[in-house]
Amino acid sequence: EKNNCYEAMATGRAKLYYDPRQQRIVFIIRKKDNGIVGAVGRGLSSNVYPKWYMYGDKSYPFVCGNFDKAILVEDCASACAVSGLMTGVALLGTSLSDEYIPILKQYKSILVALDRDATSKAFDISQKLCYYVKSQVKIIDEDLKYFTTDEIRSILNG
């Protein structure tokens, strides 16, 4: 709830589990046909290292939602938080893997909204994507996972 993922989980847009051994919330990475590809775990305290842990490989992004427009964010929690407005797609970092491009080409448009410290990377990603799909950058001051759906709507429209 603190990172605005609960609604995405409760409505079935995201599958989340708890890994008691590693003390992580686990975001299941699924393809559009619901086939499980892997997972990403987020440590639940500052004592858990590394903060993010990959279960499987990083060949497929975490996708949350089912809209024809997507918003590209850094992490799974942010993808869940925006998934009530647009399909949230988590890069699982700040770099766009070439393996993600075929997946991203299916969207009508993509909004790249990385954290402020990755703004230059956001523009690079948007420039790379523009050959395949309409894309633009939204400069944000704080990570979108910290906002409710209504607050995110206001940020994106402002």
- Long-range pairs, 51-60, Cβ under 8 A, ≥24: 52/92, 53/22, 53/24, 54/92, 55/26, 56/29, 58/92, 58/97, 59/97, 59/99, 60/29, 60/31, 60/99, 60/100, 60/103
Q: Retrieve residue 65's tokens.
A: 């939602």
pLDDT, tens digit, 9 for 90 and up, residues 68-116:
999 999 999 999 999 999 999 999 999 999 999 999 999 999 999 999 9
* pTM greater than 0.75: yes
Mean pLDDT of 34-54: 92
How confident is the model at residue 1, as a pLDDT?
87
Residue 54: CA atoms inside 13 Å, Cβ hemisphere, count?
Answer: 12
> For residue 33, what pLDDT band results from cuts at 50, 70 and 90?
confident
Contacts of 56 (CB under 8 A, 6+ apart): 29, 37, 38, 39
The owner of tokens 């775990």 is: 41
